[in-house]
Amino acid sequence: MNSSLNLTEDQQLALLESLTEICSVFWGPDHPKCVAILQGIFFKPFDKLNSLPDFHIHEALKEIRSIITELANAAHLLQHLEESYVRLFISNRTGIMAPLYESCYVSGDNGQNALLMGEPAIMMKKRLQSNGLSIGDSLHEPPDHISIELEYLYYLLEKGWAEGSKTLINEAVSFASKIMLPWISKLQERLAVESECRFYFLIASILTAILRFISGFEKMGSQKEG
């Protein structure tokens, strides 16, 4: 176990920026993001995290870099990622391999028969409301979409560090370990069999490592003094 407060401000920022980058990946690819990937801007926060002890994402980063070097430009990268994103997460005549909603991983035949807007979505909506947060009217996604959950985790950590709030940091640890990690691990397992586009599996692997890292934060004020 380690205290989240032992991280330097630069390391905290790198962790938050990494969550932001992963969040944007799972909202779907666009041209500016592909340019940032090709220019190496995308990798900067992950490279900083990779330098932390027991934070092993080097191989995943190396493979992602290898993938993008095979694509000529941002337009080709966008086409590759967009086609795979739709096939893996949105629409596929043989079935969606890895839905991006927590509700799809908590019941049914390994999640295959689970419906959207299940109990996880209801609980996520309550978490947002209890913190004075809401989903914008322009966003037509259930509350348990992976990127919404990542934005919530970002909120807990950023505000918790900024205010020195034990409550928010403890909530971030609990949310990462008990809510996100179990179903993100299942999503990663499903993507592991994908051979045409390894990018999303590798990003899910990095996210899993980050969630495990956050889960290892020692809960502040959890032990009695004296």
Model confidence pLDDT, tens digit, residues 133-187? 988 766 788 999 999 999 999 999 999 999 999 999 999 999 999 999 999 999 9
Residue 101's φ and ψ, nearest 5 degrees, are -125, 135
Summarised one tens digit per residue, pLDDT across range 88-107 is 999 888 888 999 999 999 86
Which pTM was predicted? 0.91
Tell me which residue has tokens 């592991």.
Answer: 192
The SS3 of residue 62 is helix
Q: Average pLDDT of 64-93?
A: 92
Closest residue by Cα to residue 174 from 213, 135, 142, 214? 214
pLDDT of the residue at 140:
81
pLDDT of the residue at 52:
85
What the chain holds in terms of domains, given with CATH numbers, is 4-215 (1.10.3480.10)
Predicted confidence band at 109 (pLDDT cuts at 50, 70, 90)? very low
> CB-based contacts of 224: which residues, under 8 Å, 6+ apart?
none
